[in-house]
Structure formats: structure tokens, C-alpha cells
Structure 1
């Protein structure tokens, strides 16, 4: 599981310099502490130990900086999705896959960043659209393709991959995203694990093929 202070890789070809990374790390910390609206460019520059001119040399606005952080978050979230071997059993594979998303929402840092974006849904709805299109959509696309592989192996039977992918994700994470968005305490690991296992069992009852192996 991610540590409470874990953060996505904020480096990149465009922002590979030391000062740029300082700005990104400081901005993420300030946004998590004070929210997007409550964070000023001055505060970010002070926290990063750079001038406002240096900050603006990399990011023309606070919105552009926050946008980059959202993209980095989504890239990290989607780039690290496991692809467990289906030949070792469908249920164990789904467990590994779903556990990845449980860990994301149980991580205080990830949940706090998710909440920060959610809090800006009225003032800056485009940021929420960016997070959704760069994050959840890519996750669902990955899940749909993975479940199609399982179907091709005769382990699952379904007609609509996108819908089935969303159903699996919803069954696995349950109300964890809502709790994060509302700033409520996350479920404990043991409880989240039980809900996930029950969700996977329900999913397999609905779509599992007789040829599927429980592992």
C-alpha cells in the first residue's frame, strides 16, 4: 500500500529541472493543505524556495500548475495498474487487480488529492473533467481490455466490456471514492478487503464461465 506521504512521479521531459520539481512538490503540498482556491502562487513560490518569476517561467498560471499535477496523478495511477497472469486463476487475478484500486483510495495522500479536485467542481469544472478523462476513463479502458482477455480465454461471459468493467470497479471499491470526495474517514483495510472480495464473488457469479478457475 502507498505510504501516507507517497506522491506520483512529478518529473517529466518538460519539467526535469531541479527548480521545476521543487515547484511541483511544493504546489502539491500546498494544494493538499489549503485546497486549490486557498493556495496562492506566492505561497507556492515561498514553499518551493523560488521566485514568482521562476515559477511563471514553467507554469503561466496556478491553473496550469494544478492541471500538470492532475495529469501526473492520473499518469501514475494508470501507469502502475497490474496485469496479473490469468492462467494462474481468474479470482486471484481479479484480487490483485482490484486491490490496486483499493490501495489508491486507502492512501491518505491520494484520497486528499482526489478530494481537492472534487472541491473545485463548481469553480473549475474543467479540472474535474480532466481528472475523469485522464484517470477513470483510462482505468475503465484498461479494465475492459483485460476482461476481454479473460473472456477470450473462456473465463468470463459478457456482451458489453465497458459496462462490465465499470461494474467490477464499483463492486470492488464500493463507497471509497465517495468517502474520499466528501472528506470522510476511509474504511479500514480489513473491511475494504471483505467488501472487495464480496464484490469479486458477486461479479464472478454474474459473469463467470464454468471454465473459470478459482485458483
Structure 2
């Protein structure tokens, strides 16, 4: 199984190729077998490493799954560079929103999400793990961005964390739901249309009051 999305991201800092090799194998095994059925033996075989080497880098299956999800969600780290906000607020939100949409709607990410959802009832910690590594991190970075924009008078956002959640919902609409139900794979045109409309609606909702002319 290939990892077209993950291969486009910068690799995590590491002094050894082994952790990345193990994560690639874990991606394959977890998505094929699910968290519950996957074994460290199977992951070691897929990675072509000994169990001793595997456990030297990851002490448990849960730690390995956490690392795999964190690796898949590294795109959220890009949002940290958004603060303080630039002068062109709309352009910044279009860029950040476009990055998030294309990440969330990518087939690789959808597979990871479905895998977590399928296992969440038996392993509730997996849902928290994925939220903290992905959406939770993205929400925190966006909230920081909106608070800074409000401080500079570019927006009027009383609750930055709520605004971060609303921004995601505005640009995403039903695209993720339709993808998960197998109804539609969003086209680039559909993604752009949702992005433009969502960003413009958000900016109208949280526009800073006009400064009166003397």
C-alpha cells in the first residue's frame, strides 16, 4: 500500500531511517488489519526489522499508532506559522483553508480516519489521540491566529476557539460527509468553491468595525 499524501510531507526529524521505515509498515498493517487485529509481529515483518529493533523505537502498539497518526497529521504544524497574521488576511485564510481541505479530503487521511472510527468503541483512547494530533492542534493554531488578528484590529473575534471550529465547518460543508459515505469524491472545482465561499462568509461574520472617518 502506498502513502501518496504522507510522502509529500517533509519527513520528521530523526537520526535514523528505521523509525520512518517502521511507520510506513505500521501504516500498511493498521489500515489493512485495524488496530485491534494488528500485531507488533506483523509490523516488524512488514518493516523488515527484528522485534528487538521495533521495540527499541516503539515500546507498544499504542505508541506506534500514536506516532503514525502524528506523522500523518504533520500538515497541521504548518498552521503554526500563521501568527502573527499578515496584511492580506483573506489570502492567508485561503492558503491555510486550502491546505486543510486538501489534507482532510485526501483518500489516505480518510482511510486513517475510518480506521480510528472503526476501533473507537473498543479503544476509546484512539479517538482522543487522533483529535489531539490533528483537528485539536489545527484548532489551537487557528485560534491563536484569530486572536492575533483581533488584537491588530483586522477581525472582531470574541471567542477565538469557537471561531476556529466555525471556520473549519464553513469551508468544509458536507464534502467530508459525502466522501465518507461514498457519495462523492470532491473535485478541485468543488473544493475551491467551498473554500472561497467559506472564507468570505467567515470574514463577513467577524469583520472588524469600520473606523469612523474624522
Q: TM-score, normalised by structure 1?
A: 0.82
Does structure 2 retain, via aligned residues, the 8 Å contact 1:24–1:65? yes
- Mind listing any 5+ residue stretches in structure 1 that lack a counterpart? none
Shift in Å, 1:197: 1.4
Cα distance, 1:98 vs. partner?
0.7
Bigger relative contact order, structure 1 or 2 (CA pairs below 8 A, ≥6 apart): 1
Deviations 1:64-107 (A, max 9, x none): 21122123333x122222528631x3222211111111111232
Query: Could you tell me which residue of structure 2 aligns to residue 169 of structure 1?
Result: 168
Cα distance in structure 2, aligned partners of 1:34 and 1:25: 14
Equivalent residue number for residue 197 of structure 1: 196
2 CA distance for matches of 1:209 and 1:62? 48
The equivalent residue for 1:133 is 132
- Counterpart of 2:36 in structure 1 is 37
Match of 1:120 in 2: 119
Q: Superposition pairs for residues 18-167 of structure 1, below 5 Å?
A: 18-74=17-73, 76-81=74-79, 83=82, 86-87=86-87, 89-167=88-166
How far apart in 2 are the matches of 1:184 and 1:120? 23
1:117·1:128 contact (CA, 8 Å) conserved in 2? yes
Does the 8 Å CA contact 2:156/2:209 hold for their aligned counterparts? no
Q: Distance in 2 between matches of 1:151 and 1:168?
A: 15
Structure 2 stretches lacking a partner, 5+ long:
none
What is the RMSD computed on CA atoms of the aligned residues? 2.7
Q: Output the CA distance in 1 between the equivalents of 2:203 and 2:176.
A: 23
1:123 positional shift: 1.3
Give the C-alpha shift of residue 131 in structure 1: 1.6
Deviation at 1:211, TM superposition (A): 5.1
Q: CA contact under 8 A between 1:45 and 1:52: conserved in structure 2? A: yes
- Give, in whole Å, the separation in 2 of the partners of 1:135 and 1:73: 9
How many residues in Structure 1 have an aligned counterpart in Structure 2?
206
